[in-house]
Structure formats: C-alpha cells, structure tokens
Amino acid sequence: MRLFSRRQAKTQAKILNDDNNNYPSNVKFAFNTKAHLVEKPQPYPPIKNGLVCTVVFLDGENVNFEVDRKALGRDLYDKVIIHTKLIESDYFGLQFTDTHNVEQWLDATKSIKKQRKTGPPYTFRFRVKFYTSDPRNLHEELTRYLFVLQLKDDIRTGKLDCPSGSDVELTALSMQAELGDYTSDEHSTNNVFEYRFLPDYKHTEQFEQDVIQKWTTYKGLTPADCEVQFLNKARWLEMYGVDLHTVTGKDCLEYKLGLTPTGILVFENEVKIGLFIWSKVTRIDFNRNKLTIIVIEDDDNDPRLQRDFVFLFRCNDEKECKHFWKCALEYHVFFRTTSATKLKKNAKSSFTRTGSRFRFSGRTECQTAALATLPNRNTNFERKASHRFSRRASYAIRKKLQEQETLREQEDERLKKLKCEQEAKFDENKKIAEFKSVTNSFLSNHDLTLTSKRSSSLSSSQKNLSLSATQRLDNLIQGSSNDLLFEGKHEKIFYSFN
C-alpha cells in the first residue's frame, strides 16, 4: 500500500505539471481538469532531510514548501500549482536573484540546489513570466486576477510606466474592485492615497481628485468585471510585458533589448528605435559576454532574395548574456508555436546552441489557450485586500521629501553665494593691485618692473584660484564634465570590440 500511494502521488504531480507530452492534448487537458477539481489536495507527507523553500505569492502570502534535497525545479512548481489550484500555470514561474544580482527563473529540469548557490533557506517569487498579448487568452478568473496583481505591482514599483490619463483609469478600476461603489459618506481622497497604486511622486492631490471622479463612473462593476477592463487597458501601455535587458552596442553606446510576444524591441535612451520580429530573427547566440542576433530582411533590389544582418552586443558578463539567450529562447517557443499539438517534449528552437542542454519545457500559449475547450469549473478563491499605508505615515514620507528638497535648494543657494563672494573678492584684489600699480609709478624703472611682475603674478594666481573655485562649484551643481569624459573613455576601452 505504501508503494502504491507513492506512485499515485507521483502520477498526480506529473499530471498537474503537464510537462510530459506523451499524451494527446485532449487527454492531457482532461486529466488536468479532473486533478484541479479536487477542492482540497492531499497533503504531502514530511520528507526526511528535505529542503524548505519559501514562495512569496503576488498577494503577499508567504508559504513554505518542503521538497527532497535532490528535487528538480519541476517538483517545487508542482506543489505551488496544487496550492494555488491554477490551470493556466504556464504563464507563471518562480523567480530568484542569483549571486551576480541577476533575476533568474527556476529551471524545471534542473536541481534546485544546483541553481541556488547560496542557501538554504531558499526564497522564490511567484510571478508572471509571459505576459499575454491578448487578455482574451486568459480564460480563468483566477489567472486574470493574478495578472492584475502583477501589473499593479509593476506600476507601483515604477517598472511599468503609466502615462497621465491611463493611471487615473487603472487606479479607479482598482478602487472599484477593492471597495466597491463610491459613496461620498464612506470614501474620500484619503482612500486613494492609502492604497498607493502609483509611485509616491505621482500621488498628487489633483490625481486623487481625478480618480474619485472616474471612480463614480464604474458603479455596479464587480471585481471580475474590473479586472477584465483593467487588463484590456493595461495591454496598450507602451512597456506592457516588455522584459528589458541592458546591453552595449558595437558603437560603445548603451542599449536595452526588450523581449515581447511580437519580437525583440531595441531602445536607446528610453526611445524605441527598432523591432526584431520573431519571424525575422534566425539566430541568437552568445560567446562569453558577446551576444549575436541575426535578422533577415528582404533585399531592396530583388524581393525574392533575403539578406542577413548581424547585430553585435555586449553584456556585463557571461552570466547576463546566457540569461538573455535563455529568456529569448523561451519567448520564441512560447509565443511562436501556433499548433497545440506541434510542440514535442523539450522542444528545440532555432536559437538552441550546440552542446547546451537547455530546452523549453512546458506548454506554449497556444496549448494553454486550448484549455478553453474544457468545461468551465467553479473556482472559489479569496481576493485579498491590497496593502494599505496609513495616512499619517504617507504624509510623513511626503514631508520628508519636501524637507530634502528644501535642503537641496538651500545648498544651491549657499553655493551661489559662495560663488558671488569669490568673484567679488577677485574684483577687489584686482582693484587693489591696479591701485598699487598706479601709486608706485614714480619709482624707478627697475622697481616698477618688479612691482608689475608681482602684481601680474598675484592677479594671475588669484584668477586661477577663482576660476578653479567656480569650476568646482559648477561641477558640484551639474556634475563634472571631466569625470564624465574620463568614465566615457574608460567605458569605451572596456566595451571596445576586437
């Protein structure tokens, strides 16, 4: 009986993970549905000498999961999915920060201990890994709710910039989902600031009043309705779902490459300058910290011919370079595979490197969307209230920022006064020197020459001191151009291509 129960647990975990593709898609999804219809999954027995992994969920909940010391990433993720009762699980992943301060995704096919160089304890963050380009692909209410939590966190932390107008609409929808219909007796601008949906510097009094006015127009919407509208509006934000990676081009300038469902965006100084569509990208490879992207384009002279364009970039180190390559491979397979039965287990991509064992494991977006053919299930889950900040603490933070701004203005004023005093002192010394030169004109030519040299030397030294002080003051206010030039030269030497 003991052996049978163990096999049953392994089989159930295998079904929930759904990483094996030995079954037809319809049978596989039917198994998933039956497994997820269980309201309370059986608890796992304690594991001798097991690893305790803490997972931080999007609603702020921390849950400890115990796995075997030789467990793979898939084993931990299976337990996380059983805990959340999530069907569309392939949009999500477990993230951690490695020793190089690079945010990595837990590889389902590798040992947890080999991926985490420090620990235990091990801490992972449950996050959205692939942002769908069309919210209609998300058929589960729970999935949409988790997407909204992720987007709200991206906006609040400044990762996803929300322009004026859109921020009011999204915040008003969030308030409707959190507190229901607006009533003047119960709600005010205090509620808007307490929830802190935007970065602190964007929470102005005018913004809070605009949110209140917009909030009244969403009367009668349920939390599920608000989440659908939230996703439909958020998808049009410029940086929605863009996974940014900082690189350096062959011209020694800094660029950012953004992975999206459509392709690879190229940014220079926060300005979008190009897009490599996935269908045009034929190869992505790296050698140490050098990254190569090959893109094909139609020939201008003959549309039947195509030309290869090679783009070279550098990352800070090999770790970051490999991380970008792995993310690009997963994006390419997840969004580019258009058939629900086309992808095989451990599917290869045209970006796969010779000698590398890394492969995409899991369902693609098309396979995940095929879950819509299954009968709907009633999933009961609790929407937790967002973290609220006390009004007093919020005002204290704002007051502290104002005090810092006041101190900065006072320091600028002090530097200006010091600069004026230096210039005035220089003019005074110059007048004194001229006066001495005139009053001593009756002296002999020899004495007059000596006096002139001394006066000229004194004037030059004072002028140099004054200019040096002025330059230092300007550098304190605006930043040293010489230092920037030196850093630029150093950076060019470091990133120059052979």
Tell me if 139 sits within 8 A of 372, measured CB to CB: yes
Same domain, 218 and 269: no
Alpha helix ranges (H) inside 216-317:
223-234
CA atoms within 13 A on the CB side of 116: 23
- End-to-end alpha-carbon separation of the chain, Å? 66
51-56 β-sheet, strand order = 62-67, 51-56, 122-128, 92-97, 103-105
Assigned domain for 392 exists: no
Assigned domain for 184 exists: yes
Q: How confident is the model at residue 195 (pLDDT cuts 50, 70, 90)?
A: confident
Mean pLDDT of 161-186: 91
Q: Who wins on pLDDT, 436 or 45?
A: 436
Same domain, 481 and 422: yes
Same domain, 216 and 196: yes
For 374-430, the pLDDT digits (tens) are 555 656 778 887 777 665 455 556 667 777 878 888 888 788 778 777 877 877 787
What residues contact residue 131 under an 8 Å CB cut-off, 6+ apart?
91, 147, 240, 241, 261
Same domain, 220 and 250: no
- pTM score above 0.75: no
Q: How confident is the model at residue 257 (pLDDT cuts 50, 70, 90)?
A: very high
Assigned domain for 21 exists: yes
CATH of the domain at 253: 2.30.29.30
**Residue 138 burial by Cβ neighbours in a 10 Å radius (0-12, 13-18, 19+):** buried
For 315-364, the pLDDT digits (tens) are 988 888 988 998 998 998 888 766 544 444 444 455 555 445 555 556 77
Query: Could you check whether the bond before residue 261 is cis, i.e. omega within 30 degrees of 0?
Result: no
Tokens of 275: 């897009």
Same domain, 45 and 78: yes
Assigned domain for 391 exists: no
Q: Among the three residues 96, 128, 160, which one is the final residue of a domain in this structure? A: 128
CATH of the domain at 172: 1.20.80.10
Tell me if 44 sits within 8 A of 9, measured CB to CB: yes
Confidence at residue 48, expressed as pLDDT on a 0 to 100 scale: 65
Q: How confident is the model at residue 11 (pLDDT cuts 50, 70, 90)?
A: very low
Confidence at residue 337, expressed as pLDDT on a 0 to 100 scale: 66
Per the structure, the count of domains in the chain is: 4
Tell me if 273 sits within 8 A of 306, measured CB to CB: no
From start to end of 68-184, where are the E strands?
92-97, 103-105, 122-128
Please report, for residues 197, 265, 326, 350, 497, the alpha-carbon distance to residue 245 in angstroms, rounded to integers and kept in the order given. Answer: 25, 10, 12, 21, 20
For 438-493, the pLDDT digits (tens) are 666 655 555 545 445 455 544 444 444 444 433 432 332 333 333 333 333 333 32
Same domain, 86 and 149: no
Confidence at residue 373, expressed as pLDDT on a 0 to 100 scale: 57
Could you say which DSSP state residue 201 is in?
G
Residue reference for tokens 């999804």:
29
Tell me if 52 sits within 8 A of 121, measured CB to CB: yes
Residue reference for tokens 């992808």:
343
Range of the domain at 154: 135-234
Tokens of 242: 């863009």
Same domain, 16 and 38: yes
Tokens of 238: 């410029």
271-277 β-sheet, strand order = 271-277, 263-268, 254-259, 243-249, 306-314, 290-298, 281-287
CATH of the domain at 89: 3.10.20.90
Mean pLDDT of 139-154: 94
Mean pLDDT of 266-272: 89
Q: How confident is the model at residue 212 (pLDDT cuts 50, 70, 90)?
A: very high
What number of residues does the chain have? 498
Confidence at residue 20, expressed as pLDDT on a 0 to 100 scale: 40
For 96-114, the pLDDT digits (tens) are 998 888 889 999 989 999 9
Tokens of 388: 């609220």
| Residue 288 clears pLDDT 80, i.e. is over it | yes
Assigned domain for 351 exists: no
Confidence at residue 80, expressed as pLDDT on a 0 to 100 scale: 95
Tokens of 431: 């007048």
DSSP string, 223-236: HHHHHHHHHHHHTT
Other residues' Cβ atoms within 10 Å of the Cβ of residue 266: 20
Partners of residue 265 on adjacent β-strands: 258, 275
Nearest alpha-carbon partner for 110 in 141, 162, 70, 158: 70
| Residue 10 clears pLDDT 80, i.e. is over it | no
Confidence at residue 401, expressed as pLDDT on a 0 to 100 scale: 72
Confidence at residue 351, expressed as pLDDT on a 0 to 100 scale: 56
Same domain, 222 and 283: no
Amino acid at 438: V
Same domain, 114 and 212: no
Q: Which helix (H) or strand (E) holds 488?
A: helix 481-495
Tell me what the pLDDT averaged over the chain comes to: 74
Distance between CA atoms of residues 145 and 185, nearest Å? 29
Same domain, 18 and 105: yes
Q: Among the three residues 99, 128, 157, which one is the final residue of a domain in this structure? A: 128
Alpha helix ranges (H) inside 296-364:
318-336
For 32-45, the pLDDT digits (tens) are 433 333 344 445 55
